[in-house]
Chains A and B, each alone.
Chain A
C-alpha cells in the first residue's frame, strides 16, 4: 500500500485549481517563522529557487509540495492536510488576494505509515 505525507481538502483543492487556471504551474512551499509563517504558501513554479535542501513531500492537485530539510526533520512524523480558511496573510502567497489562506491540519503518522515513509 502506498502512503502519503500530505493531503488536501475538497475546498482547498478548488482554490488550487482556480489559482492554476489563473497563474499556470504552481508549487507549495511550507514556511516557518513568525507572523504568517508555519503556513503553506503557493507560488508560480519558477518564482522560488529550490534545490536539494528542499524536501519534496508529495503532490496535491498536480502541485508539488516542498519543505526545507531542516524543518522537515521536526515535521516528518506528522501527516499534513492542506485546508483553506478565510483570512488575510501578508506573504506573497497567491491565494491572499482572494481573502483566503491555506492552513495546515496535522496528525501523527500511524506506525505503519511511519515505517513506510521514514525508513
Chain B
C-alpha cells in the first residue's frame, strides 16, 4: 500500500491560551520534508515575547488546573488518546512527512505508542494515593502530592509525537500546565494535535511554542515563570539548560542519548530456531527509525566463537532492508531527518574508515529516484573495528552499526561499560545465569534482555552517566513533576513545656 504526502495549510501559529496565535514579530520559518526536500508549511519563528505570552497563560491557568480532580484530568487525557486513535492514519502520515521515517513505523509504533502513553497516565492517577503515617499516638505525618505549577518541555525531532506523548501526559496528570517546544525540524504533529484537541483542556493548560533554540528555546528554559524544565537532546544543550535552571533553582530532568551496546553471547547460536531468528533481528534493529534513536543499539558486541557465523546472518538481514519511498508500506527504512544529519553521518562513516574500521555492508548515501533524489537517504552500514574508535564512542544518530568481538563475560562487560553514556543496552543469551548477571553489571538505565527497542508505558526509561537523569514512561516520572506536601499534625492537647 502506498500513501501520498498529506495536505498542509500555508502557515501555522503557536498554540497559546487555548487558541492559535501568530508570532508577535510576524516572522516564520519554512519547514521541509526530508523525504524529498519539499515545503511542508511555515511555522512561527517565536521570540522571547511569544514565550512570555505562553508562560503568562500557563501561570494564569495553573491554580485552577492544579485543583481539578484526578478523575477530571484522567478523563481529558483519555479524550486526547481517543482523538489520536480516531485519526491514527492522519497523524502517521504527518509524522512520516515531517521526520522522513517509514510509514509502517509511524502506523505501527509511533502513533499507537503515543496513544497508550496518554491512557497510561490517565489510569495511574486514578489508582495513586498519598500516604499517612502515625509517628506516635498523637502525631500524624501526611504526604500529599502537589503539582509544581508550570513545566517547560523541549523535545527532539526523532519521534515528535511520541516524545510529546512521553512528556505531556505525566506533567498534565500531575496537575501542571505545560509549555512545550517541538524541535524546529518537526513542528507538524504537535500542531495537528493542538488542532484536534484545542477544546479538551482549559485555556493555558497546554501551550505549544515553535521556533529556534537560541531565540525561543533559551528564553523558555531560562524563564523565571517556569517551575521545571524537562529536556531530551544532547549534552551541551543539557548543560546549558541546567545552568539556566540553576539561576531559578528549578529542577530539571535530562535525557541525553547514548551509545548503547547490544551483546550477543555464543548460546544464541546453539539452535537454529525462532529465538535465533529473533536475535538476528535484534542486532539489525540498529536500522530502526534510520538509527535516529537515543537508544539505538549502535555497538554490536558478539562473542568471538560465533562471530563469523552470526555476522553472516546479520549482514544478510541488513542487506535485505528495503529503502524506497517512505510513504510506501514496503519501505523498511526512510530518510534521515535533515541535510545536516545526513552530512554528519557520512562524515562519521569517513572517520570510521580512516581509523581502520572495515565496512561490512553499506557505507554510502543511498540514491533514490525522482523527487526522492532530493531527500536524505543513507545505506544501513556495518563497520567492524574496536571500541576505542570514535565510531564506537560517539552517537552518530544514523543507521551505522559498529561491531566488535569479545572473549568472555568479563570482556563483554568491560567493553559495554567503556562509554561516556548509559541509556540502553541489550543482552541476548540462552544462559539463565547470564540473563540476570550481565544486565546487573551494565551501567545503563534500561537493559533489554532477549529483546530490544520495546518502549511500553509501564516500564521506566532513563539514563546513567552522561545519558542524563530522571525516569520517563512510568509512574516514576510523575514525581519529577510535583512537590511533596507534608502535613505534620498533632492531636496532642498538651504543650511542649518549653515556654
A34 sits at the interface (CB 8 A): yes
Which residues on A sit within 8 Å (CB–CB) of B409?
none
Partner of B233 from the list A33, A71, A107 (CB cut-off 8 Å) is A33
Q: Considering residues B213, B350, B395, which has the most beta carbons from chain A within 10 angstroms of its beta carbon?
A: B213
CB distance from A63 to the nearest CB of B (A): 15
A26-74 with Cβ < 8 A to chain B: 29-39, 41, 43, 47-49, 68, 70-71, 74
Contact B240 A92 (CB under 8 A): yes
Closest partner residue, chain B, to A48 (CB atom): B240
B431 sits at the interface (CB 8 A): no
Contact B355 A35 (CB under 8 A): no
Contact A96 B213 (CB under 8 A): yes
Which residues on B sit within 8 Å (CB–CB) of A39?
234, 340, 344
Contact A33 B234 (CB under 8 A): yes
CB distance from A37 to the nearest CB of B (A): 3
A87 sits at the interface (CB 8 A): yes
CB distance from A72 to the nearest CB of B (A): 11
Which residues on B sit within 8 Å (CB–CB) of A37?
233-236, 256-257, 395, 397
CB distance from B453 to the nearest CB of A (A): 15
B252-305 with Cβ < 8 A to chain A: 256-258, 294
Contact A89 B340 (CB under 8 A): yes
Partner of A90 from the list B213, B240, B347 (CB cut-off 8 Å) is B213
A78 sits at the interface (CB 8 A): yes
Which residues on A sit within 8 Å (CB–CB) of B257?
32-35, 37
Which residues on B sit within 8 Å (CB–CB) of A35?
156-158, 183, 232-234, 257, 294, 397
A48-B243, A108-B355 given; A34·B236 CB < 8 A: no
Closest partner residue, chain A, to B238 (CB atom): A33
Q: Which of A1-9, A10-18, A97-105, A111-119 lies on the face that meets chain B?
A: A97-105
Contact A31 B235 (CB under 8 A): yes
Which residues on B sit within 8 Å (CB–CB) of A78?
351, 355, 390
Count of residues in A whose CB is under 8 Å from the partner chain: 42
A88-B338, A96-B214 given; A36·B237 CB < 8 A: yes
CB distance from B134 to the nearest CB of A (A): 47
Which residues on B sit within 8 Å (CB–CB) of A86?
339-340
Closest partner residue, chain A, to B242 (CB atom): A49
Which residues on B sit within 8 Å (CB–CB) of A68?
235
Q: Considering residues B183, B234, B341, B393, which has the most beta carbons from chain A within 10 angstroms of its beta carbon?
A: B234
Contact B390 A103 (CB under 8 A): no
Contact B235 A32 (CB under 8 A): yes
B145 sits at the interface (CB 8 A): no
Contact A90 B233 (CB under 8 A): yes
Which residues on A sit within 8 Å (CB–CB) of B213?
89-93, 96
Contact B237 A38 (CB under 8 A): no
Q: Considering residues B183, B343, B355, B390, which has the most beta carbons from chain A within 10 angstroms of its beta carbon?
A: B343
| Cα–Cα, bound, A85→B235 (Å) | 21
B466 sits at the interface (CB 8 A): yes
B215 sits at the interface (CB 8 A): yes
A36-B234, A90-B233, A97-B214 given; A103·B340 CB < 8 A: yes
Which residues on A sit within 8 Å (CB–CB) of B395?
32-34, 37-38
CB distance from B96 to the nearest CB of A (A): 18
Contact B339 A87 (CB under 8 A): yes
Which residues on B sit within 8 Å (CB–CB) of A29?
236
Contact A74 B388 (CB under 8 A): yes
Partner of B394 from the list A36, A49, A74, A108 (CB cut-off 8 Å) is A74
B24 sits at the interface (CB 8 A): no
Contact B340 A85 (CB under 8 A): yes
B396 sits at the interface (CB 8 A): yes
CB distance from A45 to the nearest CB of B (A): 13
A16-28, CB under 8 A of B: which get 1 and which 0? Answer: 0000000000000
| Cα–Cα, bound, A38→B234 (Å) | 8
Partner of B214 from the list A30, A33, A71, A92 (CB cut-off 8 Å) is A92
B452 sits at the interface (CB 8 A): no
Q: Considering residues B236, B239, B341, B388, which has the most beta carbons from chain A within 10 angstroms of its beta carbon?
A: B236
Contact B339 A85 (CB under 8 A): yes
B367-406, CB under 8 A of A: which get 1 and which 0? Answer: 0000000000000000000001010011111000000000
| Cα–Cα, bound, A87→B350 (Å) | 20
Contact A85 B343 (CB under 8 A): yes
| Cα–Cα, bound, A34→B422 (Å) | 12
Which residues on A sit within 8 Å (CB–CB) of B341?
87
| Cα–Cα, bound, A107→B184 (Å) | 31
| Cα–Cα, bound, A89→B186 (Å) | 11
Contact A32 B466 (CB under 8 A): yes
| Cα–Cα, bound, A103→B394 (Å) | 14
Closest partner residue, chain B, to A81 (CB atom): B347
Q: What are 30 contact pairs spanning A and B, CB under 8 A?
A: A29-B236, A31-B234, A32-B235, A32-B395, A33-B257, A33-B258, A33-B421, A34-B257, A35-B233, A35-B234, A36-B237, A37-B235, A38-B394, A38-B396, A39-B344, A41-B237, A43-B240, A70-B466, A71-B420, A85-B339, A86-B340, A88-B340, A90-B183, A92-B218, A92-B237, A96-B184, A105-B350, A106-B351, A107-B354, A108-B354
Known: A32-B395, A38-B394, A86-B339. 6 other contacts (CB 8 A): A36-B234, A39-B234, A49-B243, A90-B213, A92-B217, A108-B355
List 5 A-B pairs, minimum CB-CB distance, nearest first: A34-B257, A87-B340, A37-B234, A31-B236, A33-B257
